[in-house]
Structure 1
Amino acid sequence: MYELTTDSPPLAHSVLRLDALRKSYNLDLPTEVEVLHGINFEVHSSEFAALIGPSGSGKSTLLNIIGLLDQPTSGELYLLDRPTRELDDERRTALRRESIGFVFQFHHLIEAFTALENILMPLMVRHGKPGQEQKEWALHLLESVGLKGSHGKKPSELSGGQQQRVAIARALATRPALLLADEPTGNLDTQTAASIFEMLRRFHKDFSCAVLIVTHDPRLSETCDRTITLVDGHIIKDHRHAQAPQPSRVDSET
């Protein structure tokens, strides 16, 4: 019923754009500190990008803002060309659920739920009790991550790599425009990490969703199409690798 790939993938379009984005803590206090200093970059649907930087560079703060879990002090974040800074909590939450998928270093699966139920969770939050079509979609995702027949297993019955595969399927359940992966292979052995990374690559291509991987590992970032380097709250380098496709903007009136 479901096919991942298409013969004619959609043209690349802007998914995420940061415009002069700043973030400070302890505003108007003697201890006020600015941790992000005017961040500017854009990610298109065709891009599989990495955000790297040392500990304390501001990666986690920036990821929370991109994921609409926190707000910038100034500047603007556009998601699918929609400004987000002035959104209230309800609209921010709705936009996050509709447009962003999250994969973390630790899978954060619900132990009492089966693999299938964990994948269905984002859909249940949005729509209530899942229907047959949603269950078929979740089963398809489970098969796509190599876990056909594991739908009834609890997280404790799966290996670490298998749990991360379920987490990836869960992140894709809502067909997000943007997939954020925070150290997605940092808790896995080398071979499992490589298979997880290749899976993310395949889903990026098949779903035409933008992927932004946050990592401290330059070896991982070098295998991405693009590497954005953050140091002390500044973007010091934004490098597209030779094999990376060049994004093109699409006129909304065409």
Structure 2
Amino acid sequence: MSDTVDQVLRLEGLRKSYNLGLPNEVEVLHGLDLTIGRNDFAALIGPSGSGKSTLLNVIGLLDRPTSGELFLLGQATSGMDDTGRTALRGSSIGFVFQFHHLINAFTAIDNVLMPWMLTQGKPDRRARDKARTLLAAVGLEKYADTKPNQLSGGQQQRIAIARALITEPALLLADEPTGNLDSQTAAEVFELFRRVQQERGCAVLLVTHDPRLSATCDRTINLVDGRIVSDTVNNRDEAVIPH
């Protein structure tokens, strides 16, 4: 477990149920304890229906746990109102999904700036320069004024990664970010996540169904039936990124 000062995320006895008080009430997450440190590059794996998406939504402050506590950058979140949770999420968490959810009516750079605009308003020159720098970092600077539907799937996912980084998050959450890509492009996007984590110092928690991909992460957290059944450090020397 990371020292408290190095923790980005800590879960203590976290539970999540749906249909509370109804005959069909069901508990999906069963008292999870988990810590993610500032330098972690971790994979979250598990079979379909194990609760991975539910856990990611709770960690991302998109949904509230039923009980237990979630600490983000040392702040307990259970007592926060929606405004406080939204502000903390916007400043501290970046999201990348399997389907990039870019807006085709906007250019690549405007898509990257979207989280900034939601929290800061109209972007100034400094924000636009920052967005261009991020597009350059993902190899797409020359496509800044291009609409997403004119780019490949891999290029669109790179824009989504740049978008997730515009607020300089401490935690990057990725839900099957390579699941909609061919194997070669998936390997390239995965390597980009690795470079982002090393160069920008944000923790990465990546949901994947691919055990070969999870083996190339530093750590693998296995969720089964809403319980963490293993949390292991990987031997990356033996891992090969799938192409």
The TM-score normalised by the length of structure 1 is 0.90
- Please name the residue that 1:90 is paired with: 83
Distance (Å, rounded) in 1 between the aligned partners of 2:191 and 2:235: 19
- Please name the residue that 2:137 is paired with: 144
- Which residues of 2 match residues 206-217 of structure 1 at below 5 A? 206-217=199-210
Distance (Å, rounded) in 1 between the aligned partners of 2:225 and 2:140: 41
Residue identity in the other structure for 2:74: D
Query: With CA pairs under 8 Å and 6+ residues apart, which has the higher RCO, 1 or 2?
Result: 1
Distance (Å, rounded) in 2 between the aligned partners of 1:128 and 1:75: 34
**Structure 1 residue 219 displacement after superposition:** 1.2
- Please name the residue that 1:59 is paired with: 52
| Structure 2 residue 161 is matched with structure 1 residue 168 | yes
- Which residues of 2 match residues 30-109 of structure 1 at below 5 A? 30-109=23-102
- For structure 1, the residue ranges without an aligned partner over 5 or more in a row are 1-11, 245-254
- Please name the residue that 1:7 is paired with: none
What CA deviation, in whole Å up to 9, does each residue of 1:71-125 have, x standing for no partner? Answer: 1111000000100111111110010000000000001001100000000111111
**Structure 1 residue 243 displacement after superposition:** 4.9
Residue identity in the other structure for 1:181: A
- Which residues of 2 match residues 1-254 of structure 1 at below 5 A? 13-243=6-236
The sequence identity of aligned pairs, in percent, is 65
3-state DSSP class of the match of 2:142?
Answer: coil
**Structure 1 residue 33 displacement after superposition:** 1.0
Distance (Å, rounded) in 2 between the aligned partners of 1:129 and 1:102: 21
Q: 1:222 to 1:243 in 2, by over 3 A?
A: closer
- Please name the residue that 1:252 is paired with: none
Residue identity in the other structure for 1:62: L
**Structure 1 residue 142 displacement after superposition:** 0.5
Distance (Å, rounded) in 2 between the aligned partners of 1:54 and 1:38: 19
Residue identity in the other structure for 1:162: Q
Larger proportion of helix: 2
3-state DSSP class of the match of 2:80?
Answer: coil
3-state DSSP class of the match of 1:161?
Answer: helix
Aligned residues: 234
Residue identity in the other structure for 1:20: G
Residue identity in the other structure for 2:17: S
The alignment's C-alpha RMSD in Å is: 1.3
3-state DSSP class of the match of 1:149?
Answer: helix
- For structure 2, the residue ranges without an aligned partner over 5 or more in a row are 238-243
Distance (Å, rounded) in 2 between the aligned partners of 1:59 and 1:174: 25
2:215 and 2:236 in contact (8 A); partners too: no
2:94 and 2:171 in contact (8 A); partners too: yes
Runs ≥4 residues deviating over 6 A: none
**Structure 1 residue 242 displacement after superposition:** 3.4
